[in-house]
A = this chain, B = another copy of it.
């Protein structure tokens, strides 16, 4: 069987399963999540064995240490998977809620019902726990899923998929509700993103180059997360203690996350007093600064930033630093160099705070808060499948709502149109 044919079979089965899921009850889907949890708990030995196979093959293939680390299913990671399943089961069901029902002059009542998207294709790299995370959120929102993990985690993903299949079976749901692509052939990705008849949306999770390639080639809508070049702008008259606390937290709380600050903008009037304080705080954390020409007048010896630095997502203890004339300058910098992810202003000026909120074109815009808060859990979504840097459909942290759509529902009593 060719890869294309194999993927079409998965697609067709997923489409059929998505119809059954759309008609399934909340209780059934929750039961499947909890039964999967039990199945995974009971299968710890076989999971460990499958994962050991992947790890051994990975070492043979010369995968580097961080990759091998992400690939490993430790007992603690399995515990976290089980906990995640229980949390998702406990969330409110987004599907079927009807809102905004209004009576129109014609007499019909028009409202909107939240419904699953249908079939979701997830393309991701090594971490096998994504298999459970993604499958559980899609299942909760009554979507069928086709999961295409990295070839290096194939055995682990198969073992996890067997547990999910058992959970689905126990709840009376079709096994094709969650399918794992069982081939390492790269052509499977091309097929998956080229079947609009079977797949409603693709969610890629991984490096920027993977996501760019998928976005470019997909014939199916993609909910994507590209890079996070996040900014903090310290406005004229800002509270300096607050400014330092937010800047340090936004940069140093974690270096490798997409909502970490990469460039700090400081209003010119505050710079002479504030920059030395900031430089000291960042030096204490071991963060390297790369400054604009004006900042080097205040911080002699700071490394000069190049044009490329303003575009850079360092994901490391490095920070670009620029003095700006004021709000207009800051907004222009962010909208030009940023990646429309998350940007924050530190200010006590109401008008400028509200202008920053309105005019910065990013998925999360903040006043007096660390960019690190841009996260589905911190936003109260209860779950997160990713952070979208798209403008259409879902923007920012994507929870269950982003995996659904709203259709119009009309309640009539025999009305016809005049």
Q: How far is the CA of A343 from the CA of B367 in the complex (A)?
A: 46
Q: How far is the CA of A113 from the CA of B245 in the complex (A)?
A: 26
Does A51 lie at the interface of the complex (its beta carbon under 8 Å from any beta carbon of B)?
no
Q: Give chain A interface residues in 290-307, CB to chain B under 8 Å.
A: none
Contacts of A412 in B (CB 8 A): 344, 366-370, 373
Q: How far is the CA of A358 from the CA of B24 in the complex (A)?
A: 10
Q: Please determine whether A373 and B221 come into contact, CB atoms closer than 8 angstroms.
A: no
A310 to chain B, nearest CB (A): 17
Contacts of A357 in B (CB 8 A): 113, 409
Does A136 lie at the interface of the complex (its beta carbon under 8 Å from any beta carbon of B)?
no
Does A108 lie at the interface of the complex (its beta carbon under 8 Å from any beta carbon of B)?
yes
Q: How far is the CA of A102 from the CA of B379 in the complex (A)?
A: 9
Contacts of A106 in B (CB 8 A): 373, 378
Chain A interface size band reads: 35 or more
Q: Which of B379, B393, B414 contacts A408 (CB 8 A)?
A: B379
Does A384 lie at the interface of the complex (its beta carbon under 8 Å from any beta carbon of B)?
no
Contacts of A335 in B (CB 8 A): 19
Q: Please determine whether A366 and B407 come into contact, CB atoms closer than 8 angstroms.
A: no
Q: Please determine whether B96 and A239 come into contact, CB atoms closer than 8 angstroms.
A: no
Q: How far is the CA of A200 from the CA of B183 in the complex (A)?
A: 35
Does A372 lie at the interface of the complex (its beta carbon under 8 Å from any beta carbon of B)?
yes
Q: How far is the CA of A264 from the CA of B109 in the complex (A)?
A: 23
Q: How many identical chains are in the complex?
A: 2
Contacts of A219 in B (CB 8 A): 216
Q: Please determine whether A249 and B416 come into contact, CB atoms closer than 8 angstroms.
A: yes
Additional pairs, 19, CB under 8 Å, beyond known A221-B390, A246-B414, A369-B415: A19-B335, A23-B359, A106-B378, A108-B373, A110-B378, A113-B357, A113-B358, A117-B391, A117-B392, A245-B416, A248-B416, A250-B416, A344-B410, A366-B411, A367-B412, A369-B414, A372-B417, A374-B408, A395-B407
Q: How far is the CA of A391 from the CA of B242 in the complex (A)?
A: 43
- Render A345-372 as a binary contact track against B, CB cut-off 8 A, 1 for contact: 0000000000101110111111111101
Binding site for B on A (CB under 8 A): 19, 22-23, 96, 102, 104, 106, 108, 110, 113, 115, 117-118, 200-201, 216, 219, 221, 223, 239, 242, 245-246, 248-250, 253, 335, 344, 355, 357-359, 361-370, 372-374, 378-380, 390-393, 395-397, 405-417
| A335 and chain B: residue at smallest CB distance | B19
Contacts of A117 in B (CB 8 A): 391-392
A363 to chain B, nearest CB (A): 6
Q: Please determine whether B411 and A367 come into contact, CB atoms closer than 8 angstroms.
A: yes
Known contacts A102-B380, A113-B357, A370-B417, A364 near B410 by CB under 8 Å: yes
Known contacts A408-B363, A409-B357, A373 near B246 by CB under 8 Å: no
Contacts of A393 in B (CB 8 A): 392-393
Q: How far is the CA of A110 from the CA of B364 in the complex (A)?
A: 10
A179 to chain B, nearest CB (A): 20
Q: Which of B104, B364, B370, B414 contacts A415 (CB 8 A)?
A: B370
